[in-house]
Amino acid sequence: MVHHLYSACEFFKNVIVIKTRDRCIMELKRWVNTHTGAFDWGHAAKLHVDMEENSDQLLDKEVKMKSALQHVVKCNLKKENITDPIVLPLADCIISAWLLDAVCKDQDTYIRYLRKFSRLLKPGGHLILFASYGTTYITVGKEKFHALTYDEEFVRKALSGEGFVIDNIEVKERTAVCDLLDYKATTFIVAHKEK
């Protein structure tokens, strides 16, 4: 998923994407390097161009994004240093989109992984989370996967327990009708690491 990166590259000149699966890393690199047959994310760029008032043209958007995207790095949240053996420089901002909901087996794991995000951030650095409340399962193909079920009260406590100050939480109640997943609302959270 690259949608959020179009907005991110308006603010950050150096973006590092961290991904788990080798196949995802390969596909993303093919797209960044404009290789023949790479997945076409043009629809995502067009969405941003359509939404923004003083927008760049479609091509400028792609160019800006690809030049900001410096590295695609392999990660595993289970490791102590999640990008081991690479040690990343401390970040101004981490954006995580629907990752913790999908990979955390319980609330303690969620809190542990938040702590790992915090270690990757500069003091005062921002954490932006896109997430869903109340999900119990996610369907991919014919398989149903576990999702961590939580609500705003939990995420507020988890963030402040790990030394984050919450700047903003927006919640959008679900309107979509679809049984592939059972979230109740989506949320957009901005927090920063205490100095």
Given 14, 57, 70, 76, the residue binding ligand SAM (CB under 6 A): 76
| Residue 16 CA: distances (Å) to CA of 44, 66, 98, 143 | 19, 11, 17, 31
Query: Which part of the chain contacts ligand SAM (CB under 6 A), choosing from 41-49, 53-61, 99-107, 167-175?
Result: 99-107
Least separation in angstroms between residue 2's CB and ligand SAM is 7
Residue 102 binds ligand SAM, judged by CB under 6 A: yes
Catalogue the E-assigned strands of 2-136: 15-19, 69-74, 91-97, 121-133
Residue 110 binds ligand SAM, judged by CB under 6 A: no
Separation CA 31–CA 83 (nearest Å): 22
Which tokens go with 93?
Answer: 């901002």
Given 9, 72, 75, 131, the residue binding ligand SAM (CB under 6 A): 75
Q: Give the helix/strand (H/E) hosting 108.
A: helix 107-119
Residue 180 binds ligand SAM, judged by CB under 6 A: no
Separation CA 63–CA 6 (nearest Å): 10
Given 68, 103, 104, 120, the residue binding ligand SAM (CB under 6 A): 103
Q: Is the dihedral of CA 92, 77, 149, 157 positive or negative?
A: negative
Least separation in angstroms between residue 120's CB and ligand SAM is 13
Kindly determine how many residues on this chain lie close enough to bind ligand SAM according to the rule CB under 6 A.
13
Residue 93 binds ligand SAM, judged by CB under 6 A: no
64 contact partners, CB below 8 Å, separation of at least 6: 9, 10, 56
Q: Which of 14, 180, 18 is nearest to 99 (CA)?
A: 18
Residue 183 binds ligand SAM, judged by CB under 6 A: no
CA torsion 27→148→85→70, rounded to 10°?
40
Residue 97 binds ligand SAM, judged by CB under 6 A: yes
Least separation in angstroms between residue 56's CB and ligand SAM is 23
Site for ligand SAM in 13-52 (CB under 6 A): 19-21
Given 77, 111, 166, 169, the residue binding ligand SAM (CB under 6 A): 77
In the complex, the residues that contact ligand SAM under the rule CB under 6 A are: 1, 19-21, 75-78, 97-99, 102-103
